[in-house]
Amino acid sequence: MDDPKRDEATARFAELVREPDDDIPLDEAAMLIAAHAHPGLDIAAELARLDDIARGCAPGDLDGLRHHLFEVLGFSGNTSRFGDPRNSFLNDVLERRLGIPISLGVVTMEVGRRVDVPFEGIGMPGHFLVRHVAEPRVLVDPFGGGRIVDEAACEALLRSVYGPSAVFDASMLAPVAKRAILARMLSNLRQLYLAAGDVRSAGWVLRLRTTIPADTVAEMADVASAHAALGRFAEAATVLEDLAALLPEDSAQRARAEAKLQRSRLN
């Protein structure tokens, strides 16, 4: 059954993610993801909660922001129930002050934007961080209580997720676009819902994922997969054909073969 509130949130999300990346309001877009799990969510009221949090921070004060968010308000990583979907919904994160690295990173970035402490997202594998734009050597770990980390600490984080043989590279600390942040949030939710057998929720996550323009080969493959999972075989084939044009010939042949397979499913 169609849900007008959810459809409205989907349309607004699709509108936002087609803006130039710098112009995407990350807070609103993240709240629109949450609105799919909480139909009728008052987005304006939730954004006002971020405004209220920001009023407790002195403008331009990085240490003051960290103190207010992680010590005064007690935002922290949900280590006991990491796989709880509420950790990914920004309204729930604000209410419970619990989250996962990427959702706490979004809170940090959006409070920072409001108080002239600009951050960019760092999509390190397995652990999202934020970097102070004006002081690029300063990396903050929102999941770790807002602590400042260096490359050695980042390497330790990587190995804590992927094991002692994981190889760290400084390129893992490159900033990521807002669209990539939103796509990663949806990827997390898709994994959680599919693991739980919640096909209905996985469906709206996949639909949102297909609205985000793909900027990289990996993202294009992900979008094609999402279209196929929703039964949108023609759309999946089109993305795969576009992807083939960007790949070396061996990989391109596989992409074209997969596109042909998807089109055959239309018959």
Residue 184 counted as domain residue: no
pTM of the model: 0.88
What domain range is 253 assigned to? Answer: 214-264
Residue 132 counted as domain residue: yes
Same domain? For 243 and 154 the reply is: no
198 alpha-carbon distance from chain centroid: 20
Amino acid letter for position 28: E
Indicate whether 1 pLDDT > 60: no
Q: What is the tens place of the pLDDT at every residue in 228-265?
A: 888 888 888 888 887 788 788 988 888 899 889 888 88
Give the separation between CA 134 and CA 58, rounded to whole angstroms: 16
Q: Which of 260, 197, 190, 265 is nearest to 233 (CA)?
A: 265
Q: What's the whole-number mean pLDDT along residues 179-206?
A: 93
Question: How confident is the prediction for the chain on average, in pLDDT?
Answer: 92
Same domain? For 128 and 226 the reply is: no
Count up the domains in the chain and report the number.
2
Q: Give whole-number Cα distances, 173 to 116, 127, 169, 180, 203, in Å.
A: 22, 11, 8, 14, 32
Check: CB of residue 193 under 8 Å from CB of residue 202.
Answer: yes
Q: Which of 223, 239, 227 is nearest to 182 (CA)?
A: 223
Question: Residue for token digits 């690295």?
Answer: 101
Q: What is the tens place of the pLDDT at every residue in 43-98?
A: 999 999 999 999 999 999 999 999 999 999 999 999 999 999 999 999 999 999 99
Q: What is the tens place of the pLDDT at every residue in 153-181?
A: 999 999 998 999 999 999 999 999 999 99
Q: 112 pLDDT band (50/70/90 cuts)?
A: very high
Q: Give whole-number Cα distances, 53 to 97, 111, 114, 134, 149, in Å.
A: 12, 7, 10, 22, 24
Q: What's the whole-number mean pLDDT along residues 135-158?
A: 93
Instruction: Choose the final residue of a domain: 118, 151, 176.
Output: 176
Amino acid letter for position 96: R
